[in-house]
Amino acid sequence: MKQLDILFIHPNASKKVYQSLSNNYAAIEPPIWVGLLAQHARMINGKSVRILDCEAGQLTPEESAAIINDHNPRLAVIVVYGQQPSASTQNMQGVRDLSTILHDSYGNIKTLLVGLHPSAVSRRTLDLEKVDFVCQGEGPYTISALLETNMEDISQLKSVPGLWYREDGRIKCTTPAQIIPQERLEVELPGIAWDLLPMEKYRTSNWHAMSNENDKQPFASLYTSLGCPFKCSFCCINAPFGNNNLENWDYGRNKFRFWDPNFVIDEFEKIHQMGIKNVKIADEMFVLYKRHFMELCNLLIDRKYGFNIWAYARIDTVKEEYLETLKKAGINWLALGIESGNTVVRKDVVKGKFTEVNIRDLVAKIQGYGINVIGNYIFGLPEDNLETMQDTLDLATDLNCEFANFYSAMAYPGSKLYLDALKEHWDLPDEYVGYSQHSYETKPLPTKHITATEVLKFRDDAFVEYFKNEKYLSMVENKFSTETRHELEKMTEIKLKRKLLGD
């Protein structure tokens, strides 16, 4: 029997990352980049491919390592992306737990790390983890070239673009791999290998399910574009595409690309054929280029799929002229990066371009077209103090969006904020799960005015205050159902333990 060429692996660290929220509330999302890379490997390069989603299977590191050994691939590729950019670093905890056992017990299997965190801090990643190789960049060209080599031959490894490896105990790297150009996106990344993923195991978030009678399953997510043209200092989305990497990168390349809407609609057709209604468009910024998203929305309208979709948008990219089409296409939720209720704080992190937008009016207009809003807010940005964070909470309470995410500011590897943190010697998390918003070990940044402990306490208290607010709960009950209200009330009964707060 011919040896399997490549096994793509999505690691599992959900218990450490989300604590008890992992049981029923945290989403379990299809690992999109795993599916994209697997499809590239088999469709473009003709390789034999399998996928192991350890999180979906709730596998322990020991169980995962044994399954990987049973597959006996020429190359085991551990893909370290998340369903939002910030999740890559926290998922490195699962990488460490798995790769350590894999190396110590099954050392004959060659391992490669691909993802946002490995791209941002490639040397450090290879230095700290028990893996053979690290990929800096998107992955397809590096993986393709690596599979054509004798991986024991250092002279051949030197020809693989975007590769970090060891030679005589020293860490070396090759020249950066090319970013897939816009005109070849459909060729090199021809969709997702849906048939290799355990689609029956994925579930959406509790809030997304509100608009689907609280049914969380089945669920699918996909990209219609890659990257983001904006440069918010706290965001790490573009690390695999050439931004804010610590070393060995060509910064002069186009990062934002999108698939043709006629190509994307075929992916939606596959989702529809699987009987899936809950869908996440995972683009960092879906409502951006009108000719892209509006054309896709019109195709969705023509197909009459009836999806329950959520997508990301920016305050300054949403226009009233889009809203009717978005709603008809099945976009029931728009996630808005509001970030801060204080203009000075927002401008400091490159969010100032929408200071002229009336946020309250825009949210009301979106809701007026029957689209729910999830407001994303960050506490602890560099200029924040207790008063400015209260401004943010007051804005969130006043807007009364159908859901809200409250984050503590983190200097994620791959962001400008991380580079600033290194330069200024700020106190960063000691371990990967310290970058998780929901972990016991979470460790946000201090601001110029208050401590990390004060930031975290404010964030956790704000979460409880928002979701126990009778104004909010009554709105949700009237708009969705009494069951939805009860689900939210059960959610707020879960108290996350925090090391920083003395738990």
Structure-model confidence comparison of residues 490 and 234, the more confident one: 490
Structure-model confidence comparison of residues 247 and 294, the more confident one: 294
Q: Is residue 386 part of a domain?
A: yes
Q: Which two tokens stand for residue 110?
A: 């060659």
Q: Per-residue pLDDT averaged across 343-372, rounded?
A: 78
The C-alpha atoms of residue 433 and residue 341 are separated, in whole angstroms, by 28
Q: Is residue 43 part of a domain?
A: yes
6 forms beta bridges with 49, 75
pLDDT score recorded for residue 340: 79
Same-domain status, 26 and 120: yes
Q: Is residue 217 part of a domain?
A: yes
Residues with Cβ within 8 Å of 414's Cβ and at least 6 positions away in sequence, in order, are: 85, 88, 116, 117, 119, 120, 121, 236, 237, 238, 239, 243, 244, 245
Q: How many domains does the chain have?
A: 2
Residues with Cβ within 8 Å of 440's Cβ and at least 6 positions away in sequence, in order, are: 16, 19, 433, 496, 497, 498, 499, 503
Q: Is residue 249 part of a domain?
A: no
Query: Which residue range(s) make up the domain with 342?
Result: 203-224+259-492
Q: Is residue 237 part of a domain?
A: no
Same-domain status, 267 and 130: no
CA proximity to 134, closest of 176, 106, 71, 104: 176
CATH number for the domain that contains residue 442 = 3.80.30.20
Same-domain status, 211 and 98: no
Same-domain status, 149 and 215: no
In this predicted model, what pLDDT tens digit does every residue of 21-62 receive, in sequence order? Answer: 888 888 899 999 999 999 999 998 899 999 999 999 999 999
Same-domain status, 215 and 114: no
Residues with Cβ within 8 Å of 488's Cβ and at least 6 positions away in sequence, in order, are: 206, 467, 473, 476
pLDDT higher than threshold 80 for residue 387: yes
pLDDT higher than threshold 70 for residue 353: no
CA proximity to 350, closest of 244, 428, 434: 244
pLDDT higher than threshold 60 for residue 355: no
pTM above 0.85, yes or no: yes
Q: Per-residue pLDDT averaged across 338-343, rounded?
A: 78
Same-domain status, 378 and 488: yes
Q: Is residue 194 part of a domain?
A: no
Q: Is residue 251 part of a domain?
A: no
In this predicted model, what pLDDT tens digit does every residue of 64-89 receive, in sequence order? Answer: 999 999 999 999 999 998 766 678 89
In this predicted model, what pLDDT tens digit does every residue of 86-107 receive, in sequence order? Answer: 788 999 999 999 999 999 998 8
Where does the pLDDT of residue 163 fall: very low under 50, low under 70, confident under 90, or very high at 90 and above? very high
Q: Per-residue pLDDT averaged across 380-386, rounded?
A: 92
CA proximity to 137, closest of 174, 106, 79, 177: 177
pLDDT higher than threshold 80 for residue 240: no
pLDDT score recorded for residue 361: 93
